[in-house]
Amino acid sequence: MRFTAAVLRSYESRFTLEEVMLRAGPGDGEILVKIAGCGMCRTDLAVRHSAGRSPLPAVLGHEGAGIVVETGGPDTGLSGGDHVVLSFDSCGHCRNCMGAAPAYCDSFATLNLFGGRGEHAARFTDAAGSALAPRWFGQSSFAEYAMVPARNAVRVDPTLPIELLGPLGCGFLTGAGAVFHSFGVGPGDTVAVYGAGAVGLAAVMAATAAGAVTVAVDRHPERLALAERLHAIPLHAAPANLADLADLAELAELADRIQHLTDGGAHYALDTTGSPS
């Protein structure tokens, strides 16, 4: 089966659209998905600067969504025509997977960050027959089609715009999951969210849905405007130099404003920026 994919051939290089080949159909527990849309996550971009960690050449992409074309056996729980959102891979049988915590799978790094399941490498190649890392984060969805484990595909309502749903499997899963599961936010709680990108905005929406008061902190006015539309209190924070006393004073003022807005301090705080400033 031939189709087009965005291939990353070497570190620091650009993604290139190429014809690739899938040389076998889905095995037991797998499904073939026609990708309708895929988000671009910073993790995909980070691979270009992480020499030696993820094998190349590879087809990346891990916020995919699409329609099931073919299933491998009767035990996938899915059927052709189902609309699905894709997420990360897991082994399904370690203690954490069996304990309903697949994000802590013993083989998470091997299955997701290091190119997928090695036994399947030979069946996914470029047009010349050279092997490509077969399953980045369980899907390699920067492509027209993806072969994925059925357990990391979630059936969704077919009336929803499937081409827009891919980020539910990563960025939105992260932000909303932190609010609902790590924090357990409820009515009357207050939440401070630092960074109003995809993960932060997902946290804002989840906190609002849970009945909490949310403060969104960001340096970009357009992101704060969107956070406000999602019922957060927007709070602008300029970039800070931690060695500068004036900037430290501004950070202290920011903390005071958050305390005021949350009646003494937020019950929960979520940093989605990774930035020390």
Q: Residue 53 — very low, low, confident or very high, per pLDDT cuts 50/70/90? A: confident
Cα angle 218, 222, 226 (rounded to 5 degrees) comes to 85
Structure tokens belonging to residue 239: 């970039």
Please give the mean pLDDT across all residues of the chain.
90
* Strands 83-86 vs 64-71: parallel, antiparallel or unpaired: antiparallel
What is the per-residue pLDDT across 129-162, written as a single tens digit (0 to 9) for each? 998 887 889 999 999 999 999 999 999 999 999 9
Measured distance CA(195)–CA(210) in Å, rounded: 20
For residue 174, pLDDT beyond 60: yes
Measured distance CA(175)–CA(200) in Å, rounded: 6
Q: Is the distance from CB of 33 to CB of 84 less than 8 angstroms?
A: yes
Cα angle 63, 100, 143 (rounded to 5 degrees) comes to 20
Residue 18: C-alpha distances to residues 3, 128, 190, 248 (Å): 8, 11, 48, 49
The 3-state DSSP class for residue 85 equals strand
| Domains of the chain, start order | 2-169 (3.90.180.10), 172-271 (3.40.50.720)
**Dihedral sign computed on CA atoms, order 196, 85, 125, 28:** positive
Residue type, 170: C
What is the per-residue pLDDT across 196-237, written as a single tens digit (0 to 9) for each? 999 999 999 999 999 999 999 999 999 999 999 999 999 998
pTM: 0.86
